[in-house]
Amino acid sequence: MAWALTPLTEEQREIQRVAREFAEREIAPYVDEWDREQHFDSGMVAKLGELGFLGMLLPEQYDGLGLDMLTYLVALEEIATIDASVAVMMSVHNSLPTQMILRWGSAEQKKRFLGPMARGEKLGAFALSEPDAGSDAASLRMQAVRDGKCWVLNGTKAWVSNGPQAGVVMVMARTDSPGDRRGPRGISAFIVTPDLPGFHVGKKENKMGLRSSPTVQLVFDSLRVPAANLLGRASVLAGRSSTPRRRRRIVART
């Protein structure tokens, strides 16, 4: 970029240069082939992690670079100029899954997930949309039911970028009860890992563009997520009553 509305600092220009040279050297020669073949290059995750580009917005205590949003976007722009698919992989990872854990995760969750994510050992994904809940995300149906020390998740997520390669998937599911839906207030976030029994990668979209960024369905068949992987609080309803106003809403911290 030859000009900027906000003049870049020396550090930002240096990061821009590193990102541009990396993209020209490591991505540009393969863009056409990857796009044609719908090939996701797993080695790219490790390389971006080594550069620090998968932890740009994370604090140094989690092996991140502790940089600001503008600096991150300057680097992302350089990657996207060469290959929008790699930029999708990088931006999905750096935005919702890592930032949600950073903002709302417990100390244990941050320690367990953020370091490996910043280093590129675990790629992040975000699973909100469903086959029948796109723009109107609050109508999602995936149900989470508490069972002892686990939550049991059933349902299908759609269009999950990074889905087949992700080591950490931030999943939105309903914790309200089927007889008493609470719209967006009945949804909780879970940190799901692909090693959990019941985790299946489903249909991959054959897209017109961004073809080397995999966009897949994730199917959860009685997937048991440890309660320790619930992000923040879950709103659950108890004391079901025929009079909605008398229902007690218990906010459970688990």
Ligand X SMILES: Cc1cc2nc3c(=O)[nH]c(=O)nc-3n(C[C@H](O)[C@H](O)[C@H](O)COP(=O)(O)OP(=O)(O)OC[C@H]3O[C@@H](n4cnc5c(N)ncnc54)[C@H](O)[C@@H]3O)c2cc1C
Q: Which residues bind ligand X (CB under 6 A)?
A: 92, 126-129, 134-136, 159-161, 210, 215
What sign has the CA pseudo-torsion 206, 168, 43, 21?
positive
Measured from the CB atom, the residue of 30 and 159 that comes closer to ligand X is 159
Structure tokens at 146: 């508490």
Among 243, 113, 92, smallest CA distance to 191 is for 113
Cα–Cα–Cα angle for 208, 211, 213, rounded to 5 degrees: 135
Nearer to ligand X, 81 or 95 (CB): 95
| Closer residue to ligand X, CB minimum distance, 209 or 244 | 209
3-state secondary structure 156-218: EEEEEECCCCCCEEEEEEECCECCECCHHHHEEEEEECCCCCCEEEEEECCCCCCCCCCEEEE
Residue 84: CB minimum distance to ligand X, A: 10
Q: How far is the CB of 209 from ligand X (least distance, A)?
A: 8
CB of 159 to ligand X, least distance (A): 3
Q: Which is nearer to ligand X, 179 or 209 (CB)?
A: 209
Shortest distance, position 118 Cβ to ligand X, whole Å: 20
Q: In the complex, what is the shortest distance from the CB of residue 15 to ligand X, in angstroms, rounded to a whole number?
A: 25
Strand, coil or helix: what is 27? helix
> Nearest residue by C-beta to ligand X?
134
**Which residues, 6 or more positions from 141, have their beta carbon under 8 angstroms from its beta carbon?**
130, 132, 133, 155, 174
**In contact, 226 and 150? CB cutoff 8 Å:** yes
- CB nearer to ligand X: give 16 or 165: 165
Task: Name which of 22 and 199 has its Cβ closer to ligand X.
Answer: 199
